[in-house]
Amino acid sequence: MSTNEKKQRNEEEYEIVDRSKQGVEGVFIWGQMMPNNEPHDVTFELLGEGRKIADKLNTKLTAVLIGYNVKKWAQELIYRGADRVIVVDHEKLKTFAVLPYTQVIYDIIQKEKPEVFLFGATTFGRELAPRVAARVHTGLSADCTMFDVGDYVNRRKKLKFENVLYMVRPSFGESKLATILCPLNFPQMASARPGIFIPLKRDETRKGEIIDFTPEFSEKDFVVDVLDVNVGGGEQIDLKGAKIIVSGGRGVGEKGFDMLREFVKVLREKGYKAELGASRGAVEAGYISSKHQVGQTGTTVRPDVYIAIGISGAIQHLAGMKESKYIIAINKDHEAPIFSVATFGIVGDYQDVVPIMIEKVRKGEMVFPVTQ
């Protein structure tokens, strides 16, 4: 008998762990809302990926929508893939606060017993998901870029778990992919990187169920009072149509992006069709919204001039901008890979270089070769 046959026969003798007897069912996602009370892009991305997982598990996909005056979005989430939407609409949940949101999701998990629960790895999702995981005593695979469903055999315990969630994320400085399983605890919980998963096409023929959930809070859930929220407005970003893209990376930090916005403003005042871009490093650090992301999982651009500032030039970034006509790279590390695709490279601190460029453009001493 070959080793493979032996292995297969052994596995046939293993006890199969039947999920349905553990009383858990369904794929859930957190339908994150933005401060302007519209769903975050990642909500649609999670619905797209959650739909695939739910279909593989032959179960329903439920979105949990928390906020105030959010019920109007429930139907939209059904058009985008959900079978059920649990709506928690309460004035006290108007702005994201980690303690009451954790409590609400904890209560829903206790009641519904989902098999899988996914969050977006956004700034809020990264704060919320670990708290929920800790409270329900399960694991959390953070920052996943791929999911699948398959079996898992534990030879030592002679157990075979069927239909386990495979949660895949880059590790070791993004050079390897790690597949993480959590077959013993529920829900199997993960956060998904924004901008990776593909939303489904909106389908108005989709039908679903909208369920109201009444939260129960205590005073200790509201230790933080949000006094005011300033929303940045519904900025329209046209990366594809821009002739000049000023793009910032993790190296410029949050404050640096104010300088880059000023750069774009001055270019526009001079009549250029300029736009602000970003690397995923900057998006993940929370310096800028994912709408600005250029690269493999962001927008692919081909402007006349691409100015990469504080961007290392990872292969996934280059994939989205290397076809630009002229590439100007500003980086303090002369070995940064971005210089390998740059037409002009400036080795230096962006804080020294960019103000000079802004001033020269303002005075008309620096012009760029753009087509009409």
Q: Does 154 bind ligand FAD (CB under 6 A)?
A: no
- CB of residue 308 to ligand FAD, shortest distance in Å: 8
Q: What is d(CA 112, CA 105) in angstroms, rounded to the nearest whole number? A: 10
Give the neighbor-by-neighbor strand order of the sheet with 188-192: 140-144, 188-192, 116-120, 27-31, 61-67, 84-89, 209-212
- Write the binding mask 47 to 66 for ligand FAD: x where contact by CB under 6 A, - elsewhere: --------------------
Q: What is d(CA 145, CA 296) in angstroms, rounded to the nearest whole number? A: 13
Among 18, 38, 174, 258, binds ligand FAD (CB under 6 A): 174
- Write the binding mask 232 to 271 for ligand FAD: x where contact by CB under 6 A, - elsewhere: -----------------xxx--------------------
Computed over its alpha carbons, how large is the radius of gyration of the chain? 24
Tell me the HSE value of 203 on the side-chain side, using a 13 A CA sphere: 14
Both tokens of residue 163? 């239909």
Q: Does 350 bind ligand FAD (CB under 6 A)?
A: yes
For 3, the 3-state DSSP assignment is helix
Nearer to ligand FAD, 63 or 321 (CB): 321
Q: Are strands 159-171 and 146-154 parallel, antiparallel or unpaired?
A: antiparallel
Q: Does 141 bind ligand FAD (CB under 6 A)?
A: no
Q: What is d(CA 316, CA 284) in angstroms, rounded to the nearest whole number? A: 14
SS3 string of 188-239? EEEEECCCCCCCCCCCCCCCCEEEECCCCCCHHHCCCCCCCCCCCCCCCCCC
Nearer to ligand FAD, 254 or 349 (CB): 349
Number of residues that bind ligand FAD (CB under 6 A): 30
Nearer to ligand FAD, 59 or 299 (CB): 299
- Piece of 30-38, 75-83, 259-267, 346-354 that binds ligand FAD (CB under 6 A): 346-354
Nearer to ligand FAD, 163 or 331 (CB): 331
How many Cβ atoms from other residues are within 10 Å of residue 298's Cβ? 25
- CB of residue 326 to ligand FAD, shortest distance in Å: 19
Nearer to ligand FAD, 102 or 247 (CB): 247
Site for ligand FAD in 303-332 (CB under 6 A): 310-312, 314, 316-317, 320, 330-332
Please confirm whether the linkage preceding 187 is cis (ω < 30° from 0): yes
Among 48, 99, 296, 304, binds ligand FAD (CB under 6 A): 296
Contact indicator for 50, 42 with CB cutoff of 8 Å = no
Residues counted in the chain: 372
What is 272-289 written as a DSSP string?
--EEEEE-HHHHHTTSS-
- CB of residue 180 to ligand FAD, shortest distance in Å: 15
Among 102, 141, 163, 279, binds ligand FAD (CB under 6 A): 279
- CB of residue 203 to ligand FAD, shortest distance in Å: 27
Among 298, 306, 328, 339, binds ligand FAD (CB under 6 A): 298
Instruction: Tell me the CA end-to-end span of the chain in Å, nearest whole number.
Output: 72
- CB of residue 295 to ligand FAD, shortest distance in Å: 2
**Which residues in this chain contact ligand FAD in the complex, by CB under 6 A?**
145, 170, 174, 249-251, 279-282, 293, 295-298, 310-312, 314, 316-317, 320, 330-333, 336, 349-351
